[in-house]
Amino acid sequence: MIEAFIKFPVTRGELNPQPINPTWILDGEPRARVRFLSGSKDGRANTYLWDCTPGRFNWHYIFDETLYVLEGLVLVKDEHGVEHTLRAGDTAFFPAGSSAEWTVKEYVCKVAFLYSPLPPQFQLLKQAYHGLLRLTGRKVPIEGAAGF
């Protein structure tokens, strides 16, 4: 039987060091920590708790990341040079392949939802499969739901 609900009591003391790539650090000595919370069966979706002390650094996204800020304040400069302020209660999305400059003004803690997108050839296969379902009058799965 698959468990449908899991509660994750987490305290800051339970996070593990996750050093920021030293070549990405632009100012200060930011210290990041992380804790794995959950993952999908296929390994393409994972949830983490992440925190960081003040500093300025680049971040290069290899996964789609949706984050929710639990505590703190960070300024994020996107690839177009536009600066966005994220504070407790804010949500942001960074697509795989993008980059951003993070300026952590005060301690920040976030929940990060990471998703590994399908390679382009599999995306085409998925679109063809959904087209076939439509042609045969079958229900197409909701995008992002479990299944193909």
The tens digit of pLDDT for each residue in 2-49 reads 555 666 666 666 899 999 999 999 999 999 999 999 998 888 899 999
Domain boundaries, the chain: 12-115
pTM of the model: 0.76
Among 31, 22, 25, residue whose Cα is nearest residue 53 = 31
The tens digit of pLDDT for each residue in 121-141 reads 665 666 677 677 777 877 756
The domain 12-115 having CATH identifier 1.20.120.140: the answer here is no
Q: How far apart are the first and last CA of the chain?
A: 22
pLDDT on residue 63: 92
